[in-house]
Amino acid sequence: MTGTQRRAQLLDVSRTLFAEKGFDNTSVEEIAARADVSKPVVYEHFGGKEGVYAVVVDREIQALTGALTEALEGGGHAKALVERTTLALLSYIETSEAGFRILVRDSPVAQATGTFSSLIGDVASQVEHLLADQFTKQGLDRRTAPIYAQMLVGMVALTGQWWLDARSPQKAEVAAHLVNLAWNGLSGLERRPQLTKDGEPARTAGPS
């Protein structure tokens, strides 16, 4: 292997181990053994377990941030933004299960390189501005937007952690129920919520 190929292999192997066992329970010896290399090779590329973990976490954060940012920048009705952001997070979980498991774990290294909670906080800050505009249009106090942004994003994130293991119902149905609660509130829940097109009410939605 070239140096670049070896580095990529070590990252893939380490990502799998960190997802399976966590940072504390993964050793350089295990990474080297699974990659079929000697320990010095791991140290040569990353300086140790902390180094490879930091790179793995950074890659996952960039992937998830990119997906969420794209969803938020799409424009359109506020409800459409909520739907797209919810689907973006669930899609990341669906396609990057190992990466998500790593992000939701706490470790000293993760705290230095970025954690899932800090990432979600960044997303909440972006959502805050969207909510503030909607609150102003509806005559609500825009100063409360940060509170609602944290609640909205936190609700989606925690549900995503649950769905990581449950994987039932299907992604679109989970997203529809999340948006149902976020958009309509408990007192206005739809009986059979469905995702909509551009945030406009679906013709087939069940009665409230």
Write down the pLDDT at residue 208: 41
- Going through the chain in order, the beta strands assigned E by DSSP cover none
**Angle between helix 39-46 and 28-35 (nearest 10):** 110
Highest mean pLDDT among 70-84, 102-116, 117-131, 139-153: 139-153
- Mean pLDDT, range 98-117, rounded to an integer: 69
In the block, residue with structure tokens 């909509």: 196
Write down the pLDDT at residue 13: 97
Q: What residues contact 40, with CB distance under 8 A and at least 6 apart?
A: none
Write down the pLDDT at residue 87: 94
CATH architecture of 3-188: Orthogonal Bundle (1.10)
Amino acid at 9: Q
Write down the pLDDT at residue 61: 86
The SS3 of residue 190 is coil
What is the rounded average pLDDT for all residues in the chain?
Answer: 86
What share of the chain has pLDDT > 70, as a percent? 90
| Ranges 18-32, 50-64, 161-175, 187-201: which has the least confidence | 187-201
